[in-house]
Structure 1
């Protein structure tokens, strides 16, 4: 699974933040790691200097042979936003793959 981390100009994306966020996302997505080819994380500060819950993480996972799944999550910090997006991505992946299985013989 390839991992790509992108930040807007107003977010500090130093190596420490990148490594910490990537490790956290990889851990959360470990269960489906063999089923996805790439993970892209885009983080930005959508509220500017006004403060508050202003970090938005958009996470896109690319399952093998299927269209990409994209989710977003807003939080006060980059780590919280990324972790929330990873949780949502797992739910969206499970839902999408569940639709594609032949559970009732249809």
Structure 2
């Protein structure tokens, strides 16, 4: 499972940030590891320099083996909260997708 982390020009993307979120993804999605080829994480600050509530965005694009990509988005006041919300949505979506696949 390859993990790629992208940030917009308003978010400083450094190695520590990438390591932290990569580790969290690997732990959080460990049970799906053999069913996922790649995960792309997109972080953004929708208002840039201006302050606003829930202006941080995290988009997870998950590419399961032999299936269409699954995309989830979460907005929050911090990157960590946006990431955790998106990760939670991704787990639910993957669980549902793979359970439906088992049923057929």
> Deviation per CA, 1:31-80, whole angstroms, max 9, x where unpaired?
11111000000010013312322110000111111111000111122122
**In structure 1, what is the Cα distance between the partners aligned to 2:88 and 2:37?**
18
Select between 4-13 and 93-102 the one with higher mean Cα deviation: 93-102
Could you tell me whether the CA contact under 8 Å between 1:55 and 1:81 is conserved in 2?
A: yes
Select between 47-56 and 7-16 the one with higher mean Cα deviation: 47-56
> Deviation per CA, 1:1-40, whole angstroms, max 9, x where unpaired?
0000000000111111111111111111111111100000
What corresponds to 2:21 in structure 1? 21
Secondary structure of 1:10's aligned partner: coil
**Mapping 1:36-51, distance limit 5 Å:** 36-48=36-48, 49-51=50-52
**In structure 1, what is the Cα distance between the partners aligned to 2:102 and 2:34?**
18
Question: How many correspondences in the alignment?
Answer: 103
User: Between Structure 1 and Structure 2, whose CA radius of gyration is higher?
Assistant: 1
Q: Which runs of 5+ in 2 are unaligned?
A: none
TM-score (ref. length: structure 2): 0.90
**Mapping 1:1-106, distance limit 5 Å:** 1-48=1-48, 49-102=50-103
Q: Which runs of 5+ in 1 are unaligned?
A: none
**In structure 1, what is the Cα distance between the partners aligned to 2:8 and 2:65?**
28
